[in-house]
Structure 1
């Protein structure tokens, strides 16, 4: 038996909810802040705690994997069906820094339950969303009477996501044989709202760069030399101004090569969401929307590539005036990429564009960092349909679709392992990721538990029908 009866799943979850939350609270008390070297021991303690708890859950393999930075946790539980698909769950056990003086109402690493919400750093991002898989798996086994999952189940929970995952790609490459799978489930994401449950189908990629421009060997008098020699600050401004055309499209030749355009169905699905642009603007602390012509706000932030000026500098910045032609200037740019775009090709296009536009007498250097590939799951992929059905059973309503405008390490799993990436998260925008008073809605957390209890059986059955 693979498909778990709803009533049996819900009864098991209700019976074990209190113990599950006690365990989660114990984990949340470990301040596993990967960005703080002083907390390295706590990050290691967090990994050991999770590996031990996964062993208690029943995983016959639960290991702490070392990296050049913080440790990750790997667990594996083979199915008793040799033909079952292999699924890898991704999440992270490190958290953002937090201190009471940042504006927390309570101690950030002392979990508090109030009004149906669990407050603590990591409650939603990402310990709560990692940990719901443990109770969901137990409910799946209890409700189906199985001794092992309906799928070959693996977990990879990294310890450096909040520090940019600097060693994650190398870890995945080095351990690709152990991580081999048919599909990846990422539980480090959220939903549109508690009333509108959604599944994310993709994340954008990222390329960042700094362009350093050099002109005169030193700052020189603008009265004696201005207007007759190239000015690096002026050239930085000219580059920034040339970044977009009159329709707010990125004007770098070749930038859009390979872009997978939105289908009519995808645009219709985005339009179904109850988007309040005025409320979104308040969240953005902005006074107007502006972007690529011909696209809605949601399309712009989820499914269109972008270029942003992140910062500019050069010349005199102090009080009053100082009439110089500065010797140097800099420009910081970031590019969000969508499915079909290659970060290496984008970097090459940016290099060529900068070199083409700069005049003689301006020397430049470009430093690229943070290259991340985009990922996208087709709407008709059978694994995605399983996630949607499982969520629909748990929430008892229609599941809609979103994408994420940001970037993350999911693309490394997709590219290195050659497996589709699916997103399963129950967090909502009010959970306050990275902010004071981070929380998770307990009823939604239990919906995550319930979804995973249904998911493994559905995946096993639908994969067999492929």
Structure 2
């Protein structure tokens, strides 16, 4: 299948590569204060790129507690055109451990169809394909403005948990008004399996601390006669799941929105090689909630995970004590309709129920948590998106998937009160957040083509239908 959009993208690949090479050299690591000047440089670089693309309105929003974000707007000449808000982020993850990188993380390296650098896939490459896609859209349609009014909000703190994003959204709510949101910070199942994310999980996280005696005690003199915080925190962890892999927090599953039969049928069509999955994860066995596939467990079911556990002496040799304190770090991934506040109450009740006499427990939460977000199948927005992706992939069926991670998308959706869809082309082996991050260049070109096609499809659907999705 040959389209004018595809021809334009093919003819301008070098422009995309040139821009990526420049932008990826800026180490905009939001988690490291010493790199915050680089985060600003990253924002200013993208602002300049948006102006070069033709955006009449481009602003760097650095006037709040948030690290600099970029807002760009290009209004359609059609006064009735839908308004589309594209969300992405320009900050990147730290590169530690540096010794595991095969190349300098901030010197982009191309090897065939792969480009390696920090931020190549998450999220600079995926954002830049939109600029190329917009140019392809204009060239293919002969327009001097997009078929839809385009707004971009490009965050600078996503890799730090978006601590100020909701405040930024509230401050600029009127400027961000739209009919539909397109998120471009996700991926596809495989290069030859076009897909779109239809949900992202929410999350709450906490540290549970157990305090026993007010000082470490000799285990020979006192052991066996008083409660041991390390033993009791281990009992709490052991009670977190039953033998079917179900989380035992009170009310944990009460509000879970289950997959429909249609969704489960479509999930079953997604190619899944469990042997390859074990190789990628460098694990030796699969485990999880009974009755669900690995793919369903990864994105469509809520989970509880132990992220770290400790207490007492952990140095070389042994130190025979009953420790004074122990702790466990827990995170809970949530799915559609689960309320973080309800889960927090349930976890606190669970901790109370598993705190024995003589132990003082304390639960410290990492914020109020984030909600999950969901994209219903078959809506006008979803159909337009899947149609654009399918055309870019030569008519292949577009499969729905769920993203196991969490992000600010639910907060964004709530702030603008509009439906959202996901257009992302990252691949499972892109090693985002890990050493040797890479992006497959042919996937970026497909993303650019899909974006070019999407704006025309959204315009055909119309603002009212998109809002009702």
What are the within-5 Å matches in structure 2 for residues 262-281 of structure 1?
A: 262-281=259-278
Of the three residues 18, 24, 27, the one matched with 1:31 is: 27
Measured against aligned partners, the alpha-carbon deviations of 1:392-421 in whole angstroms (never above 9, x if no partner) come to 111112211211111111121112222222
Shift in Å, 1:423: 1.1
Match of 1:410 in 2: 409
Shift in Å, 1:76: 0.9
**Alignment partner of 2:314: what SS?**
coil
What are the within-5 Å matches in structure 2 for residues 202-217 of structure 1?
A: 202-217=199-214
Of the three residues 377, 384, 390, the one matched with 1:386 is: 384
Measured against aligned partners, the alpha-carbon deviations of 1:145-170 in whole angstroms (never above 9, x if no partner) come to 22221222110111122222222121
Contact 2:39–2:67 (8 Å) recurs in 1? yes
In structure 2, list runs of 5 or more residues that go unmatched. Answer: none
In structure 1, list runs of 5 or more residues that go unmatched. Answer: none
**Alignment partner of 2:401: what SS?**
strand
**Does the alignment pair 1:363 with 2:360?**
yes
- RMSD of Structure 2 on Structure 1 (CA): 2.0
Distance 1:216 1:99 in 2: 38
Match of 1:60 in 2: 56
What are the within-5 Å matches in structure 2 for residues 159-238 of structure 1?
A: 159-238=156-235
Contact 2:66–2:165 (8 Å) recurs in 1? no
Aligned residues: 462
Question: Mean alpha-carbon deviation: is it higher for 362-371 or for 193-202?
Answer: 362-371
Distance 1:103 1:298 in 2: 29
**Alignment partner of 1:455: what SS?**
helix
Of the three residues 6, 13, 16, the one matched with 1:17 is: 13
Match of 2:99 in 1: 102
Query: How has the CA–CA distance of structure 1 residues 27 and 461 changed in structure 2, closer, same or farther, with 3 Å as cutoff?
Result: same
Q: TM-score, normalised by structure 2?
A: 0.93
What are the within-5 Å matches in structure 2 for residues 414-429 of structure 1?
A: 414-429=413-428
Shift in Å, 1:437: 3.1
Contact 1:95–1:122 (8 Å) recurs in 2? yes
Distance 2:239 2:129 in 1: 48
Query: How has the CA–CA distance of structure 1 residues 332 and 107 changed in structure 2, closer, same or farther, with 3 Å as cutoff?
Result: closer
Contact 2:210–2:361 (8 Å) recurs in 1? yes
Shift in Å, 1:99: 7.9
What are the within-5 Å matches in structure 2 for residues 37-436 of structure 1?
A: 37-66=33-62, 67-98=64-95, 102-369=99-366, 371-396=369-394, 397-436=396-435
**Alignment partner of 1:372: what SS?**
coil
Q: TM-score, normalised by structure 1?
A: 0.94
Contact 1:209–1:369 (8 Å) recurs in 2? yes
Question: Mean alpha-carbon deviation: is it higher for 202-211 or for 98-107?
Answer: 98-107
Shift in Å, 1:319: 4.4
Shift in Å, 1:186: 1.0
Measured against aligned partners, the alpha-carbon deviations of 1:333-372 in whole angstroms (never above 9, x if no partner) come to 1111000101111001111221123123221111011512
Shift in Å, 1:321: 4.5
Contact 1:99–1:108 (8 Å) recurs in 2? no
Contact 2:388–2:454 (8 Å) recurs in 1? yes
Question: Mean alpha-carbon deviation: is it higher for 41-50 or for 319-328?
Answer: 319-328
Match of 1:453 in 2: 452
Measured against aligned partners, the alpha-carbon deviations of 1:76-121 in whole angstroms (never above 9, x if no partner) come to 1122223222211111111223489534443332223331332322
Shift in Å, 1:449: 0.7
Query: How has the CA–CA distance of structure 1 residues 18 and 257 changed in structure 2, closer, same or farther, with 3 Å as cutoff?
Result: same
